Structure 1
């Protein structure tokens, strides 16, 4: 059973990779400062490793078990006292999940291996438990509210004063997006609004009339929007073959951009089809041997190469891969120095992070020769591929955007109660046999229906009415607060969007919209408008569904700010609590690799500073603790100084990294607390600390920098040893002693 959460505490989450390591450095500062104002701060472990351990507690000894902290926080998120700070976590692909399991087994946890093809009840049980941890398993549990994500004024001003590098676009650039024009999820979608509470069933009807239940029970509420769609795999294969030929003919790099983490069922399968299409000879000659060995193209080229090492045909397989790379178009690279291609690991190239990074870099990706080049970006499903093409077209015509003059595109995102969680749930299937898949209500009536063939991917999703109402209200609230236009990115020609448009029109009538500029535009048109306006220095609120929320809150921040980690992400929970997210974690693995290699962590914790300040203010409002409000206000001021003094982690060893940035935030925060007049007791408590930190600035920074340059041992990647991680992330004895004196 989940352990109880204090009713008046800020809950700080332990997650994964770089954010987790940064927590070992930053959290002791926060705990020490918060304690002076009587603000309790608790931690909960929702890391991938922690969730694996919690899922198998029944087979672990008592001292190795962990409570299900995610389930606990999911319940808390439904209560008005919720105040949760959520750091980025791994949305696990199968290779990541397998790697985490292997590490935990090496650490002595009695866990079953991930069964690719479960044959026994025990294996099927293990597979079911592991499958619940894949992909975006955390966010739908915690997000009991819609998203309000924006760049704080201090962050935006810093980007204008200290503009990050942007590539120079050429009118002759060959970079473009390739997407399907038929047979994909976008063009196959059907949608229905439920007239009453009901329980639906998903079933497959074979060509012989045999009915197989795919999902026995799908509870729905009155007003809920339910969608279903399919990917025609035959058309997908034909499309991929065409793009490989096109990339070679145009002399550009070939890349594919998917969401194999959040879309945890559909997109790994699509990724596998891309691998097959790029290496046809490999699978013609060795496909049977790979399949017999349990080596799936869905896990990427890296899995094939590593698995082939133990096969009799290993050398021939490696040669076939080399021949395929030589015969095909040049393949975009994740790491050209190490030979890691775009097709090595499905979780390496995530569309919402990789596409804006490419646009920011002149429309280039890295080629196998270690040089940048124009790229054909293949995004098979056309639902939102066009937004990237719209931005590319604008840059090709007008040149790179200028962070010094750009406007901003904040986002209001529909995500409460697992809204639009395509691919992240148990309603996605790879079809085994030809026939029909249908969604049937309790009266036996067919609501949604698709003809399918073997190998097709079919999926459904739900969007409840209450989150839609709240989403519309939040959009109006933000438009009223800012005076900026609010644009709903909805396409009337798409089945799901058409139903949402009807609801938006209905619920807008519940609000005073006089004087507000509220529009509904198809995503491509909305993207064109937004990028035209930011080029003019104007702001436009993007009001989007869940998937576009993911895409837009990386696309525009990466162009505006250089990273999405600097966004303020507030989730006003439906029942009055608050969830405060701290930015995106797409770059987290690379930062960990650098730390392990040279004891330098470039991860930027700015998102945590921003979220924490708002969390303190929320706590003050909810509890009447005036000291918490002072903590929030002074932290916000300290963050402004932090930005103006350029104390974010530098690029190279020998400069301050994440740990140094935490020291400076602590210094500026203590100084702000010491000079504020709203709480004399807090000012008195922090005055000596501010003086001591300032006096020891050089000593502390020297100690932090002195440890850099050599490899470190954390005792684990997915589950570091706490003592080793703390020692690595808190290497300044002077700073630790000064902080302890508080």
Structure 2
């Protein structure tokens, strides 16, 4: 039987799965398609690492490793929902929750000393940060707005804040002594095994990373951030925000860049509260309290210290005297510096641009903002958008064009900072990348505290990326622009490869350009305002940024994108959009039994998955399911059945009911398979006849707290009960 693997992930997407998966399974069975789940949630990934400590009932397989192997096979058909890219505070919270449920898991070792502690730390670090995506992404990314979504946005434009030509909002970035300016890049001539080592000023050698296998043609990059320059820069920006009377707001990616960006975040906390750390830094360090965990963790931990009250008073005094600080939740006093994973650049910057270029201050009012992005690699992209809006006003979703993306990400391409090749330097000296023959390929002089990191980009994914870009340009007739800067070391090597591989394809009549990111942004924005589309062809980190930036402006959210990953060995990975607002949705569900998560991304991914399966398995019924699902989704949008904004309207569960209803009605109307049409005509009749009863059953549970038995690992029985409250709907599905 043909299979679709549907991933069990985290937070709101995972809760939605309890409601939507029974619908998928019931409909897919009519085409002989089996739908299986694999648990790649943060909790599941943690549990899978410690089988020796757990009971037989508690143990689970390493589903992520299993899916990583499956992704290399042609039969792969994986629907991947958003998962938690765990920051350290999230990882610790998940461990604590699981320990409270009886799992004999060790605490996270902050400073591992023994071999056992080091082994435990290594296991936990495997599941921290962006641990899932590099394993599953055995292909490059094709991400675009489906026609139904784009048409809906044009007919029902979302709100966009008005822009003032006097806006004081700007981006602040280093431009020197940062990751971008210090980058060095080499192309490996033949298969090799590299070593990364630190050579102290006294000649002492310390191996930082042993046995890094590389292939011929692979691009190896390394760079570092000068901590001294960073601290100077951050101190200057705090003063600038005060002088310009704008909010200070830090924008990093402490989830994906799980080693480097928490360190940068910690330096920002110290730069904003210099007196606090001058007075109490030693006491905080002695208590194991790290600024890298954010102001929230610091304040919570400080309550247990003798100096706790004084520390809290020092924080409050600085907040009152310093520049205004951007807020994540002004009602609760949660600042931009509270939790490193709260403000993620790819979501926070587009949201700011949508809201008149402003963020929220402590009084709950919008205010112009200094967006502090330390590394200058892509900061110019955001400054270009700010300048465009200041000059030309807000974008108009009713008329604006689109910027689909072809992203280089296969085989962990450009996974800067999310793996084990990032180091905080302990002592002065140099860091070297050395070949097996002893040749020094890359070398940087470093000082204590500097953040050094390296990444790899294999040749085969680059070649496939170029092919995918030409394929999309040919399919759409839209210009394709490679966002590459010839003055940046890594990009210069990629430009050479792009120019080498483009002649392998028929590009006659196509517009294919290479532009530096800021220039490519300006070109794309000029076309957007004319209602024209432009394909952005980018590396992995910029892919992450662009596939939030443009969809949030065009569609109001990045969760409505179709994200297809054509796997290089013939399979398919279908991603369902972003999960940035997922935590707030879970909190609302627990508080008042209302889940506002929009599963539209899951609908598009499922249709693409069924279409791929139909082609691979020559399954005509799967093709019918795919085609009718697309039509049902368009009806779903036109009828405005996405979750409402307040209690008493349909939420995620109601939106699933209506998708099931419209899908059944489309299947009943199709003429290619009479038996299938007959089966779904009966279901469609039952659902339509009982529509008001089902909606009442789904809405009536709202307004009361909901018990799902855990945040990171809900209880299956409790979560199913909460997410499937309509007996009438459940019985109708069972009858199919």
TM-score of the superposition, structure 2-length normalised?
A: 1.00
How far apart are residue 526 of structure 1 and its match? 0.3
1:219 maps to 2:213: yes
Which of the numbers 705, 726, 732 marks the counterpart of 2:726? 732
**Partner residue of 2:586?**
592
Within the candidate set 214, 236, 260, 1:242 is matched to 236
Aligned counterpart for 1:552 among listed residues 543, 546, 550: 546
Q: Distance in 1 between matches of 2:320 and 2:197?
A: 44
- List per-residue Cα deviations over 1:690-737 (Å, max 9, x = no partner): 001001111111111111112111110000011111111111111111
Secondary structure of residue in 1 paired with 2:57:
helix
Alignment counterpart, residue 255 of structure 1, candidates 249, 272, 292: 249
The answer as to 2:546 corresponding to 1:543 is: no
Which residue is equivalent to 2:603?
A: 609
2:84 and 2:140 map into 1 onto residues whose CA distance is 21
Give the corresponding residue for 1:642: 636
Q: Distance in 2 between matches of 1:162 and 1:664?
A: 19
Cα distance, 1:613 vs structure 2: 0.4
State the match for 1:165 in structure 2.
159
Q: Deviations over 1:372-413 (max 9, x none)?
A: 110000000000011001011010001000000010000000
Aligned residues: CA RMSD: 0.6
| Deviations 1:345-377 (CA, angstroms, capped at 9, x unpaired) | 000000000000000000010000110110000
CA distance in 2, matches of 1:214, 1:554: 34
Query: SS state of the match for residue 127, structure 2?
Result: coil
Q: Residue in 1 aligned with 2:73?
A: 79
Q: Deviations over 1:49-74 (max 9, x none)?
A: 00000011121111100000000000
Q: Deviations over 1:207-263 (max 9, x none)?
A: 000111101111000000000000000000000000000000000000000000000
1:320, distance to aligned residue in structure 2 (A): 1.1
Q: Which moved more, 1:30-39 or 1:76-85?
A: 30-39
Are 1:474 and 2:486 counterparts? no
The equivalent residue for 2:433 is 439
Counterpart among 147, 169, 176 of residue 170 in structure 2: 176
2:616 aligned partner:
622
Count of equivalent residues: 736
Match of 1:365 among 339, 359, 374: 359
CA distance in 2, matches of 1:203, 1:331: 40
Corresponding residue of 1:139: 133
1:316 aligns with 2:310: yes
Say whether residues 1:501 and 2:513 are aligned partners.
Answer: no
The whole-number CA distance in structure 1 between the counterparts of 2:304 and 2:483 is: 50
How far is 1:327 from its partner?
2.0
Q: CA–CA distance in 2 between the matches of 1:321 and 1:685? A: 65
Q: Deviations over 1:661-718 (max 9, x none)?
A: 0000000000001110111111111111000100111111111111111211111000
Distance (Å, rounded) in 2 between the aligned partners of 1:481 and 1:623: 24
- Cα offset, 1:119, TM superposition: 1.9
Q: Which moved more, 1:381-390 or 1:705-714?
A: 705-714
**What is the alpha-carbon distance in structure 2 between the residues aligned to residue 233 and residue 40 of structure 1?**
53
| Residue of 560, 573, 576 corresponding to 1:579 | 573
TM normalised by structure 1 equals 0.99
Query: In the alignment, which residue of structure 2 is the partner of 1:708?
Result: 702
> Alignment partner for residue 395 of structure 2, among 392, 401, 414?
401
Partner of 1:3: none
Aligned-pair distance for 1:36?
A: 1.2
Query: Could you say which residue in structure 2 is the equivalent of 1:631?
Result: 625
Partner of 1:391: 385
* Structure 1 residue ranges, 4+ long, deviating more than 3 angstroms after superposition: none
Alignment of 1:143-542 (within 5 A): 143-542=137-536
| Map of 1:47 onto structure 2 | 41
**Which residue, out of 125, 129, 140, partners 2:123?**
129
Q: For 1:358 and 1:654, how far apart are their aligned partners in 2?
A: 30
Gaps of 5+ in 2: none
Aligned partners of 1:589, 1:76: CA distance in 2, in Å? 30
- Partner Cα separation in structure 2 for residue 79 and residue 603 of structure 1: 32
Deviations 1:568-624 (A, max 9, x none): 000000000000000011111111111111111110000000000010011111111
Aligned equivalents of 2:702, 2:168: Cα separation in 1: 42
Q: State the shift of 1:659 in Å.
A: 0.5
SS at match of 1:539: coil
Q: Please, which of 544, 556, 562 is the counterpart of residue 562 of structure 1?
A: 556
**Aligned-partner Cα distance in 2 for 1:225–1:15:** 32
Report Cα offsets for 1:455-508 as digits up to 9, x if no partner.
000000000000000000000000000000000000000000000000000000
Structure 2 residue matching 1:9: 3-state secondary structure: strand
What secondary structure sits across from 1:282 in the alignment? helix
**Which secondary structure does the structure 1 equivalent of 2:331 belong to?**
coil
- Rounded to whole Å, the distance in 2 between the matches of 1:714 and 1:313 is 38
Could you list the per-position Cα deviations for residues 403-441 of structure 1 after superposition, in whole angstroms to 9, with x for gaps in the alignment? 000100000000000000000110000000000001000
Hey, what does 2:21 align to over in structure 1? 27
Aligned mates of 2:443, 2:52 — CA distance in 1: 41
Separation in 2, partners of 1:598, 1:505? 56
Unpaired segments ≥5 residues, structure 1: 1-5
Matches of 1:542 and 1:136 in 2, distance apart? 23
Distance 1:326 1:121 in 2: 46
Shift, 1:315, TM fit: 0.5
Instruction: For 1:118 and 1:198, locate their aligned partners in 2 and report how far apart those are by CA, in whole Å.
Output: 31
Please give the secondary structure, in 1, of the residue aligned with 2:196. Answer: strand
**2 CA distance for matches of 1:658 and 1:63?**
32
For residues 474 and 101 of structure 2, what CA distance do their matches in structure 1 show?
Answer: 54
| CA displacement at 1:630 relative to structure 2 | 0.7
Structure-1 separation of matches of 2:290 and 2:177: 24
- Select 1:666's aligned residue among 637, 660, 663: 660
